[in-house]
Amino acid sequence: MPCYEYQCEACGHKLEEIQKFSDEPLKRCPKCDKNKLRRLISVVAGIIFKGSGFYQTDYGGKNASFSGSKNGEKL
């Protein structure tokens, strides 16, 4: 289930709520109790785990290539 961000237009309170896609957006602010809560558009970035314990083969499909350097050199 996705996590949605909300912000109250009346008091500025921000919150996150885990909801189903089919759930109606929240409307009432839990802080000021006004119907001014609006869902924010979030930018979600992909997560890449780096460091010991993670392998190059953990990313992508069979033919995925991994480069840990900025200039594209294979590690």
State how far the Cα of 29 lies from the Cα of 74, in Å rounded to an integer.
50
Contact present, 36 and 10 (Cβ < 8 Å): yes
Give the start-to-end residue ranges of the domains of the chain. Answer: 1-41
pLDDT in tens, 34-72: 999 999 987 666 666 666 766 666 555 555 555 555 555
1-41: what fold?
A: Rubrerythrin, domain 2 (2.20.28)
pLDDT in tens, 8-31: 999 999 999 999 989 999 999 999
User: What pTM, to 2 d.p., does this model score?
Assistant: 0.56
Compute the Cα dihedral for 67, 2, 4, 40 and give only its sign: positive
**Tokens 């996705």, residue located:** 2
Residue 22: partners with Cβ closer than 8 Å, 6 or more residues away: none
